[in-house]
Amino acid sequence: MLSDRRQRVLAALIEEYVHHALPVGSRTLVENYHLGVSSATVRNELSVLEEAGYITQPHTSAGRIPTDFGYRSFVDDLFASELGEGEDADDQARNAVEQARSAASEVDDLLQQTTAALARLTECLSIVVPPSSLSLQVRQVSFVSMTPYRVLLVVVTENGQVLNRTCDFAEEVSPDDLGMAQQAVNNLIVGKSLADMRAEIDGGLNQQLQNPLVKIMLGEVLSCLQGREAGHAHRLGLSTLLQQPEFQHAKALVPVLQSLEDDTVLFELLDSVQGEGKTVVRIGHENENELLSGVSVVASQFGNGSATGVVAVIGPTRMNYAQVIRAVRAARETLDSDNPQTTSTQEG
């Protein structure tokens, strides 16, 4: 546990390093930050911080830079003070994400707009992974007769996603039969997830499944949900990440790109924050995958119940943690809203 003075010195060094990406010397800290102590005291505190592993000196004649351990102490102090989990996102971040929300016309658009706003706010790679259709419960299903041989299937999920697809039949389907099938399918699946539906079909326990039209339409609903399986992530900001000094050399960049191109690695990373119920910060070597040891991840879960997604920012360990944490919280607040502006998502 650092003393208040050492924590202030560490925070000042990290702030300077975040802004300039250059090793920081004691003179810079004394001249640019009101630490209330002499140059000699600052030099002594830097020596103590280095011996304890909070900072390191890349070259003998250079200043110091933070270590992962130093960043962790700094972030923990942020959470304990100005960024406690009960604190709201700041107005700038909230306004930026709310503007993205107002510009969105459907759920996918909202996710993409939110990702773009995060990338602009943080100048890092921003990722939003929506709730999986496997876990989303169905609120309502409607069958709309377009012709005697063609039906428009509309599925509304609990989080407001509206999915649709057209179904063609070899034989004529009457409005009465279609209405019966709609009622039967709603009775079978409303309030259930895709996984629940699959289990019910495999079990074949419901007599209504013996009706050919009901079985066909239920299969179409499953295909519609599977077709919109929301496992894909919305990602923006990679070009900005490439401009960071840490990644201007290919040797440092290649492992990060490899990990980000591998959806398995990405989803393992994001899955690890689900269930946390708070903003999670993983710094450098705290990431389980060693390919991500050169970056930090700030992530938070959004949604509720079984329908949860993840919003995350990936950037250099030299990121502006306070700014990124506030931005992620603003995105989470927007995506957690009970009234997303949604219309429909087309499915062919």
Across the range 230-253, mean pLDDT stands at: 74
pLDDT of residue 296: 94
**pLDDT at residue 235 is higher than 50:** yes
- Alpha-carbon span 50 to 280, nearest angstrom: 26
pTM of this structure: 0.70
Q: Say whether pLDDT at 259 is over 80.
A: no
With 90 as the cut, is the pLDDT of residue 253 above it? no
* Residue 149 DSSP class: T
For residue 188, pLDDT over 60 is answered with yes
Q: Which of 90, 124, 66 is nearest to 311 (CA)?
A: 124
Cα gap 127→313, rounded to integer Å: 6
Which contacts qualify for 201-205: CB closer than 8 Å, 24 or more apart?
A: none
85 vs 73: CA distance, rounded Å: 16
When pLDDT is averaged across residues 203-217 and rounded to a whole number, the result is 74
Q: Compute the average pLDDT of residues 62-75.
A: 95
Rounded to an integer, what distance in angstroms lies between the CA atom of residue 258 and that of residue 242? 14
In terms of Cα–Cα distance, which of 190, 159, 200 is closest to 306?
159
3-state SS record for 276-328? CCCCEEEEHHHCCCHHHCCEEEEEEEEEECCEEEEEEEEEECCCCHHHHHHHH
pLDDT score of 32 more than 90: yes
Q: How far apart are CA 169 and CA 145, in angstroms?
A: 11
Q: Is residue 167 within a helix (H) or strand (E), and if so which, with residue range?
A: strand 162-168
Whether the per-residue pLDDT at 320 is higher than 90: the answer is: yes
- pLDDT tens figures, 272-288: 776 666 889 999 999 88
pLDDT band per the 50, 70, 90 thresholds, residue 291? confident
Q: Is the pLDDT of residue 298 over 80?
A: yes
Q: Is the pLDDT of residue 109 over 60?
A: yes
337 vs 107, 243, 331, 333, CA distance in Å? 12, 33, 10, 6
When the pLDDT of each residue in the chain is averaged and rounded to a whole number, the result is 81
Highest mean pLDDT among 110-114, 167-171, 222-226: 167-171
| Cα–Cα nearest to 193, from 135, 142, 140 | 135
DSSP class per residue in 197-253: HHHHHHHT--GGGGSHHHHHHHHHHHHHHHHT-TTPPEEE-HHHHHTSGGGSSHHHH
Mean pLDDT of 31-47: 93
Does position 243 have pLDDT exceeding 50, yes or no? yes
pLDDT value, residue 31: 92
Per-residue pLDDT reduced to its tens digit, 41-61? 999 999 999 999 999 998 877
> Do residues 106 and 164 touch, judged by C-beta distance below 8 A?
no
Q: Which residues contact 230 (CB under 8 A, 6 or more apart)?
A: 129, 130, 131, 132, 133, 136, 309
Domains and CATH numbers, the chain: 4-80 (1.10.10.10), 91-132+231-338 (3.30.450.40), 138-227 (3.30.390.60)
Lookup: tokens for 98 = 């709310």
